[in-house]
Amino acid sequence: MGGLLEVKALALHFGGITALQDVGLAIAEGETLAVIGPNGSGKTSLFNCITGIYRPSSGSISFLEESLVGRSPDAITQLGVARTFQNLRLFHNMSVLDNLMVGRHLHFRKNFVHAALRLRAEEIRHRRRCEEIIEFLNLEPVRKSRAADCPYGVQKRVELGRALATEPKLLLLDEPVSGLTQEEKEEFSYWIHEIRGRFRITILLVEHDLRVASRLADRMVALDHGVKIAEGTPAEVQRHPEVIKAYLGE
């Protein structure tokens, strides 16, 4: 299968602790894949390996036929992988707009002299793109507020917007709806759905909320203790005896 992202036999060890072992998965272009699993099952570690924050102990990760292992996070973003974080890593003292503009950073034609002499044609070009995202995510009222002053739900949206601003081909969402109210969850699910439809972005999703995950995902992968225990359609995975055991015990 000619997937967009292919992870093969991925392993990650921290000293004696095994975070991931022999994990393999593939995402086709345009697909939404959800990764589920109890706390500590290695979902975020998997994300960190893909985005270059951790270097896997063994195994391969290829994106558009290029290996991601050993590349720096910014080089991986350059290739078209964007992510959000579970515990939000916004630039707290910047405005919402500036947060999104950092997302545009890699598309800038970077000319230091232009920056120093206040020639702002590039800036305006990218500002337009950011405004499109701001409009899409209904961030207009907080455009110029400090990110840290925004409520949690808005901060989650800002982070999603920042990831979208990098114009990714593959978007990794680490628990996008955790900590949101029911209404916000529904809104957020709608946006994730729209991202797929409007921007044609492939999505890899980590989610604890199984209802949201099964509604958004075409396929599901379940991890437990760093090992892949099930893969298939959401309904299949959720009925899988190993998955039920992992969540509920014997």
Partner 1 sequence: MDLVESYAQDLGFARKRITRALLALLLMALLAFPWVAPDYMVFIATLVALFSIGVIGQNLLIGYTGQISFGQAGFLAIGAFSFGHLSIWGAPFLLALAGAGLMAALAGVIVGFPSLRLKGPYLSIATLGFGVAVYQIFVNSEVLSGGRSGLAIAKLKPMFGLSSVRYEYFVYMLLLAGFTWVSYNIVSSFVGRAFVAIRDSDIAAEVNGVNLTRYKLLAFALSSFYTGVHGALYAQVLGHIEPQIFNILESITLFAAVIVGGVASIEGSILGAAFVILVPKVFADFREMVPVVYGLGIIIVLMFQPLGLYGLWLKTRLYFQLWPFR
The smaller minimum CB distance to partner 1, of residues 129 and 208, is found at 129
Round to whole Å and give the CA distance between 250 and 50.
32
Site residues for partner 1, window 90-109 (CB under 8 A)? 90-94, 98, 101-103, 105-106, 108
Exactly one of 89, 211, 239, 245 binds partner 1 (CB under 8 A); which one? 89
> CB-wise, 47 or 191, nearer to partner 1?
47
Q: Does 83 bind partner 1 (CB under 8 A)?
A: yes
Write the interaction track for partner 1 spanning residues 139-168; mark x where CB under 8 A is met and - where it is not.
Answer: -----------------------xx--x--
69 binds partner 1 (CB under 8 A): no
The footprint of partner 1 on residues 190-229 (CB under 8 A) is: none
Instruction: State yes or no: residue 128 binds partner 1 (CB under 8 A).
Output: yes
Q: 11 CB contacts (<8 Å, ≥6 apart)?
A: 18, 20, 21, 22, 23, 56, 57, 58, 59
Closest among 44, 119, 132 to 87, alpha carbons compared = 44
Q: Does 110 bind partner 1 (CB under 8 A)?
A: yes
The residue from 13, 127, 225, 240 that contacts partner 1 (CB under 8 A) is: 127
The token duo for 133 is 């995202």
CB of 134 to partner 1, least distance (A): 12
**Minimum distance, C-beta of residue 35 to partner 1, in the bound complex (Å):** 18
- CB of 151: closest distance to partner 1 in angstroms? 18
The pair phi, psi for residue 19, each rounded to 5°, is -90, -35
Q: Return the number of the residue (28 or 53) whose C-beta is nearest partner 1.
A: 53
Is position 9 an interface residue for partner 1 (rule: CB under 8 A)? Answer: no
Q: Cβ of residue 15: shortest distance to partner 1, in angstroms? A: 20
Q: Which positions lie near partner 1, rule CB under 8 A?
A: 51-53, 72-74, 77-78, 82-83, 85, 89-94, 98, 101-103, 105-106, 108, 110, 112, 114-118, 120, 122-124, 127-128, 162-163, 166
